[in-house]
Amino acid sequence: MTGICYFLVYLAAGWWAVRCLLPGKAFSVRLWLSAAAGVMLMMWLPALTAFFASFSVQGHLLSLLPLAALCALVWVFRDRAPLKKRDSGDRVAGRYLLCLALPLTALSMYLIWTHDLLPAEDGSLYTGQATYGDLSLHLSIITSLRGARFPADYAIFPGELLSYPFLTDSFTSSFMLFGLSLRGALLISSFVMLALVFSGYVFFCLRAAETKGGAALAFLLFFLNGGLGFIYLFDMRGVSLSYYNDYGEMQNQLQAMTGLSARLRNVLEGWYQTPVNHAEFDTYNLRWSNVIADMLIPQRTTMGGWSMLLPCLYLLYDGADTLICEQTVPKMTRQTVLLGVMAGGLPLVHTHSFLALFFVSLGFMLYSLVKYPRGSRVRRLISWALYAGIVCVLALPQLLFWTFRQAFGAGESTGSFLSFTFNWVNNDGRGGLKDGYFWFYLKNVGLPFLLLLLSLLEKKPGRRFLASGAFTIFLFAEFIRFQPNIYDNNKLFYVWYMLMAVPAADYAVSLWERLKGLRSRVPAAVLAVFVFFCSGTLSIARECVSRYQLYGPDETEAAAFIEDNTDGHAVFLTWTEHLNPVSSLAGRTIVCGPDLWLYYHGFDTSARHRDIAAFYKDPAGRKDVLERYGVEYIFVGPYERAELDVDQEALEALYEPVFTSRNGSITIYSADLGPKGS
C-alpha cells in the first residue's frame, strides 16, 4: 500500500499542474493529462535524485522535495481563468472510454496477467509467445536498478552505461522498492500505462477526427491493425505448400496444412505463425505486427513511451491546429510549456517516441508557416521557438550523455547505428526490393493504407495537416535505418499510422454516408470490417492462448536464494542465455548477457564470450577471468552445461558451493572464498 500511496501523491501533483496550467480544457481531458503528467513526474524525479542519493526508498522520499517545488511553481504561474465545467463533450468522451478504451485495456491486462511471470504450483513462471524474448531484458533492468546510483551500468554488460531508455522500467522498479513483488509491480505499472495509451488515443481521435464515427473507427484501425496476410490462409488451402530445407526444417509452415481449420490451428498454436509479423519473413514478407500483441505487451518501453507520446501529440495538434484554423496566435504559452516539458522528458522513456514527435513537430511547423499569410509567421515562429527551446534544454543532456553515446559508438561498441536503407524491411540488401513498393505497404498495412492515400486527394486542411507531420516521419523512416535491427523502424512507422488512421477512418465513414440508398452498403461494410480486422484479431487470439515456461522451479529457487543471500550489486559469472534467473529475477550483475539484446544495442560481446567459455573449461588456469570482471559467484545451470565444456570437478575442488537446487540442476559457487584451503 505504501507504493500505491506514493504513486497517488504524484497523481495529485499531476492533477494540480494541469489544473493550474490548463483550466480551460475539458474536464475529461484534464483528468487524462493529469494522470500522464503524474506518471511522467514519477518516472523522472526519483531518477534525478538517484544521481545524488540512490534509487532507493530514501531517494524516492527525497524526490518529493522537488515535486513540492514544482507544485509551488505552477501555482505562481497559474492561469487564473475559471475551471471549465463538465459538459456534453465529457459525456461523449466517457462513452468512448467505456466502449473502446476500457475493453482493450481489460484485454491487454489479461495478456499481461498471463504473460508476465504467471506462477504455477511447482514454482515455475510462465509467459506468452510475444514476451518470451524481450521480457527478461526488462526484468533485468527493473530488478537491477533497485539501490543503484545513477548513471547506472548495464546489469548484463557491466562497465557500459545503461543507455537503453530505462525510465519505463524504473517506474516499475519504484513499486518494487515500496514492497510490491516483481509480478505485482509489473501488473500495476502496466495497467497504468496501458490505460493511458488507450484513453490517450481516444482523446486524440476525438480531437483530430472530423466525425465521432471516424474517431471510433480510427481507434479500432490502429489497435486491431493487421493487413492482408490472412489471404494466405485461403490461398490454395487444399494443397500443402510446405517443403523442407537442408536442415530438415519445415518451410512455408503457414500453408503446410491442407484445409482452413488446420491452418487456423497452426496460427493459434505455431510459433509466430499469425499472418502479421510472420516467422517466415522471406516467404511472405509480412512485418506489420499487431500493435497490442507485438508492441504494447512485449515492449514495455513502447508502452511507456506511447503513454507519454499521446499527451504530447494531443497538446501539439491542439495548439498548432488552433493556429491554422483560426489564423491567429492565441495566448497558449502555458500549454506550450507543458508540451515542451513532457516532450523534453521523452528520450529516456522511449527514444523512438521522442524521434517520432520531433518529426511530427517539424512537419506541423513547416505546414503552419508555409500555408498561411506571412504577416503572422513571426508570431508563429516565436511559439514554435518556445516549444523547441524547452525541449532542447531538457532533452539535449539525455541525448548527449546517453542516446548519442550508444547510437554513434562508444566503449565496446560495434559502431554507429545509423545507415541508409530504402523501404524499410522490404529492402533485399542487394539493391532491390522483395515486393513491389506499393504492394508491400498495401499487403502489410491493408485496406487502411489505400484509404489514407485516397483521403488526401480531397481538399480538407485537417487531413493534410495531419499528413504533414505523419509523412515527415514516414520519409525519414523510409530512408534511414536508426538501429542495427531494421525491424525497429516500425516504432516510427506506427506513429505515422497512429496519425494517418484518423483521415483513413474519416474517409471510410464518408464513403459509408455516400453509399446511402444502396442495398449493397451493409454487405460491403461487413466485408470491409473483415478485411480491416481479420489478421490483427488472429494475432491477438494467438497471444490469448499462448503459454510457455520462462523459468522452471530450480531457476526460481536459485533466484530466491540469490535475492536473500547476496549483495544487491554482486557480480555473477553465467553463460549468455537470455533466460537468466540471476540477472532477470534477482537483478544481479552478470559478466555478459545475450546477443539477442546486446548486439542490437550496439555492443561487441565476442571477447567476453571467449573469456566466459575459457573459464568454465579451465577454472584453475583462467582465474584471471574472475579478477578481470570482479566476479563474486559462479553459476552453473542447465544452459552452462549444455552450451559450454564445464569442468565441474575442477569447480568443486577449487570453490565452495553455497547453493544447490533441490533437483540438483543448479549450483552456485562463491568465488570470494577463493580456492579451498587458501
pLDDT in tens, 539-582: 999 999 999 999 999 999 999 999 999 999 999 999 999 999 99
Q: Are strands 125-127 and 118-119 parallel, antiparallel or unpaired?
A: antiparallel
The least confident of 497-506, 598-607, 609-618 is: 598-607
- Which pLDDT value is given to residue 375? 62
Average pLDDT over residues 496-505: 97
Ranges of beta strands (E only) in 357-499 are: 419-420, 480-481
Rg over CA atoms, the chain: 26
- Which pLDDT value is given to residue 253? 77
**244 pLDDT above the threshold of 80:** no
Ranges of beta strands (E only) in 98-179 are: 118-119, 125-127, 153-154, 157-161
- Which pLDDT value is given to residue 374? 65
Average pLDDT over residues 615-643: 94
- Which pLDDT value is given to residue 93? 96
Average pLDDT over residues 635-657: 93
SS3 505: helix
Q: Which residue has the higher pLDDT, 262 or 7?
A: 7
Say if domain 552-670 classifies as CATH 3.40.50. yes
Average pLDDT over residues 179-194: 97
Of 615, 22, 656, 652, which Cα lies nearest the Cα of 333?
Answer: 22
Average pLDDT over residues 427-447: 92
Written as nine digits, the cell of 3 is: 507504493
8 Å CB contact between 463 and 506: yes
pLDDT in tens, 382-434: 888 889 999 999 999 999 998 887 777 655 555 667 788 899 989 888 889 99
pLDDT in tens, 310-354: 999 999 999 875 544 444 444 468 999 999 999 999 999 999 999
Written as nine digits, the cell of 253 is: 509452415
Q: How many CB atoms lie within 10 A of CB 620?
A: 12
Residue 238 confidence class, pLDDT cut points 50, 70, 90: confident
C-alpha 311/C-alpha 341 separation (Å) is 11
Cα distances (Å, whole numbers) of residue 308 to 349, 475, 653: 8, 23, 54
DSSP labels, 289-341: --HIIIIITT-HHHHHHHHHHHHHHHHHHHHHHHHHHH-S----HHHHHHHHH
Percent above pLDDT 90 for the chain: 78
| Angle 662-664-670 from CA coordinates, rounded to 5° | 95
- Which pLDDT value is given to residue 258? 83
What is the average pLDDT score of the chain?
A: 91
**Residue 132 neighbours by CB under 8 Å, 6+ apart:** 548, 550
Strand partners, 549: 126
Q: Cα 186 to chain center, whole Å?
A: 14
Q: How many residues does the chain have?
A: 678
SS3 509: helix
Residue 677 confidence class, pLDDT cut points 50, 70, 90: very low
8 Å CB contact between 490 and 296: no
- Which pLDDT value is given to residue 411? 56
Query: What are all long-range contacts of 364-371, with beta carbons under 8 Å and residues at least 24 apart?
Result: 364/316, 364/317, 364/320, 364/465, 364/468, 364/469, 365/320, 366/468, 366/472, 367/324, 367/464, 367/465, 367/468, 367/469, 368/320, 368/323, 368/324, 371/324, 371/461
pTM listed for this prediction: 0.95
C-alpha 260/C-alpha 185 separation (Å) is 41
Average pLDDT over residues 169-190: 97
The least confident of 34-38, 175-179, 459-463, 554-558 is: 459-463
Residue 279 confidence class, pLDDT cut points 50, 70, 90: confident
Task: Say what angle helices 182-208 and 167-177 make with each other, to 10 degrees.
Answer: 130
- Which pLDDT value is given to residue 530? 96
- Which pLDDT value is given to residue 404? 84
Cα distances (Å, whole numbers) of residue 375 to 107, 372, 471, 562: 51, 9, 27, 68
Is residue 138 packed enough to be buried (19+ CB in 10 Å), middle (13-18) or exposed (0-12)?
A: buried
Cα distances (Å, whole numbers) of residue 181 to 12, 176, 301, 560: 25, 6, 20, 12
pLDDT in tens, 44-89: 999 999 999 899 999 999 999 999 999 999 999 999 999 999 999 9
- Which pLDDT value is given to residue 247? 67
8 Å CB contact between 169 and 300: yes
**467 pLDDT above the threshold of 90:** yes
The least confident of 208-217, 380-389, 467-476 is: 380-389
C-alpha 474/C-alpha 459 separation (Å) is 21
- Which pLDDT value is given to residue 675? 47
Q: Cα 252 to chain center, whole Å?
A: 30
**368 pLDDT above the threshold of 70:** yes
- Which pLDDT value is given to residue 203? 98
- Which pLDDT value is given to residue 324? 47
pLDDT in tens, 133-159: 999 999 999 999 999 999 999 999 999
Cα distances (Å, whole numbers) of residue 64 to 6, 276, 348: 9, 45, 21
Break the chain into its structural domains and give their ranges: 2-128+163-208+299-417, 231-295+443-545, 552-670
